[in-house]
Structure 1
Amino acid sequence: MTSDLILQRMMTLHPKVIDLTLDRVWRLLAALDNPHDRLPPVIHIAGTNGKGSTQAMMRAGLERDGAAVHAYTSPHLARFHERIRLAGDLISEDALTRVLDRAYTANGPEPITYFEITTVAALLAFAETPADWTLLEVGLGGRLDATNVMTPRLCVITPVDLDHQSFLGDTIAQIAGEKAGILKRGVPCVVGPQHPQALEVIEERAARLGAPLLAYGQHWHVGVERDRLVYQDETGLLDLPLPNLPGPHQITNAGAAIAGLRHLGATDAACEAAVTRAYWPARMERLTTGPLVDLAAPAELWLDGGHNPAAGRMIAQTLAALPRKPTHLVCGMLNTKDIAGYLSPLASVADSLTAVSIPDEANTIPADETARIAASVGMMARSADSVQDALASFAGGDPVRILICGSLYLAGHVMRLNDAG
């Protein structure tokens, strides 16, 4: 039995109505002898944007100091295996099939969400594989997320913004309350840059729990001077290369990662590795080889999976900081997202948008609707039947910049299409 087959079976257990609760997770963990109690020390990361980048930087730093690191992230892009790293390596097909089957068998016919049961399977794999650290990225919110079942060694909250309002609340303060649900009594928390109302909520909860905060602008500072990243906290100053992950927002993500690493006693070399060795695909990633790159030539091809208004602002800032070149978007989004909010910041930096529907995704916005919304925020917009058709329209033309964007699901589709192997 393959992992894909077991994952398909798990989908049949998904409740008809999603209610965020930890009850189903606690039940399954107990049936598996509580693997969450046997994890290597946990670093728990929540936030709206920047979770994955911050986790990737922390992993690069810890591994530079010789640590074996588990890592859990979601969603995956091309293959489910991407969600689980065991002691630094992507989980093997045999190991994944084994833990998925054990979780599925232990759960029986009881209703449980796909994310909940697969998270429990990941925790089972982590508990049974020796490592020095476990990095857990929250899937949705924090307070009632399936990852929120243990007491970590350190928490990290990256910037909080509007996203998933139907589950987390309509205001930044409400969403911050859900993210701050990962805080535990006495456990330190690194806090990235926040809206004032989000920071107030986080600080209030931390005070109630006696959880020490290491907050941006208070306990640590980061910025760019003479094309170098300069980080400072109470223990001193670090002068480092700029992050290899592109975009101005990666400066503060790097700052949060370094603050966490310094708190854990990492070396200066680890902090440098965090900004120079991190790899996080489909986050303003330039694609340099593959069939889609060849199709779009001589245009340069970029890929990003951001999908909320804050991500739109970050992408716009990143594009504005690149050498000026005509820039065209190929965009597909889900109907659960604030499409106009995402596209509005991009209108000033994009010369056109070609809308596509996301293949095999029930919640995709039809391409014509995405194009209509793009036009309503001032973009020159059209639609295409596929990513390939959109790229082919640029083939052999000027060496423009093309960014495929709007959804991690679209990014995963693109990565599979562009897999030359």
Structure 2
Amino acid sequence: MPSVPPTESAYDRTRLRQWHLGHARSAGIERRTLLKLLATASAAGSLTVGRTTARAATPLAAPGIVKPLPSDVFTIRGTNAETNFAALRSTGPLTPVGHFFVRNHTVTPRLAVENWKLTVWGSGLRGPAVDFGYDDLRALPSVTRTAFIECAGNGRSYYTTQQNQQVSGTAWTLGAIGVGRWRGVRLADVLRRAGLARGAVDILPRGLDAEVITDGVNLGRVRRPLPLAKALDDVILAYEMNGEPLPPDHGYPVRLIVPSWVGISNIKWLGDIEVSDEPLYSPWNTTLYRLFGDAYPADGSAPLTRQSLKSAFELERGATVTAGQRQVLTGRSWSGGAPVRSVEISTDGGAHWHHARLRDTPRHGSWVRWTTDWIPRERGTAVLLARATDRSGRRQPEVAVHNTQGYLFDAVVRHEVTVV
């Protein structure tokens, strides 16, 4: 077994090549069906996402979400709830459970822990399937990790509203991210107790939410394979979030936390894990979570890798500020590739830039809060910009490379306010 886990990019490119050659198995769906869906995804035209709608003054509701959704904290987007960034201004580095965004492919299942079990099975084990109950997991040595979870489509709406490009998918602004402190058991410990075989190469975690139907095709339950090296590295089966048992909307009783990998890898409501001695594939890294468009090959890019670099103001879009009065602007920046090194701010649409003050020590898996002072002088519309650079040297660009499904938006976002 390799001692160093591969990057997700290297792993997925290898699996994609193997799958096209027929050397990787399409788990849970016929290969010919997946090929048909892939051809459709490659040829499909773009769809326009709706612009952000104004929040109601009354409590909100979304199909299948259990927790309260106060209108000053969330914007409802179909079966999902996006965090309003202005609501994070009074919070710390961790996102409170009541502010954490919800990404549901279907609806939140209501599971009873006494009836729950995790089944580990497959050709990559030395013996038959092994079941773990909730108490079994909690009896194992625990670990705690701080990690952000971010939807691959976070920022998608700006392809349309800022770059005038069409995309398909949920019209997130920048609030499809949250940072949590997750406690659980190392996946490596569970796999070894289940009898991990020397020939295992992939694992396939699967959720207990309802099966996903797309274009009349049943894709099955949400699942996405991981290489064994990553599974044995830093992945955990989490049963606590910010010191409390996982809430239903965030994966109760147990979810996967895959640090630094795209949000879809962090399977909620975990029900079983297939351990395989042959490469695996699923719809969630073939037709979904890949890049299609003019900048990519005709059959799409390799499956998505880590999330991109972003910055957001903790201020309502269109907010009114008073000329001549000192304003304290705050916000957050984060990167899926490396800790944030610096953040620059412009209050005049990019004509001039200055460095913001960082409020946190930059770390892998978390964001950095920042602050800067501003005294607006001229009345009218002011365009605020925040631009981050991470320790790899990557800096947010002025324009994001377009893809038809609107993933990985990383451009500097134009944040307009009114000075009176």
Q: TM-score, normalised by structure 2?
A: 0.28
Q: Indicate the structure with greater helix content.
A: 1
Q: TM-score, normalised by structure 1?
A: 0.28
Q: Indicate the structure with greater strand content.
A: 2
RCO greater where, 1 or 2, for CA within 8 Å and sep 6 or more?
A: 2
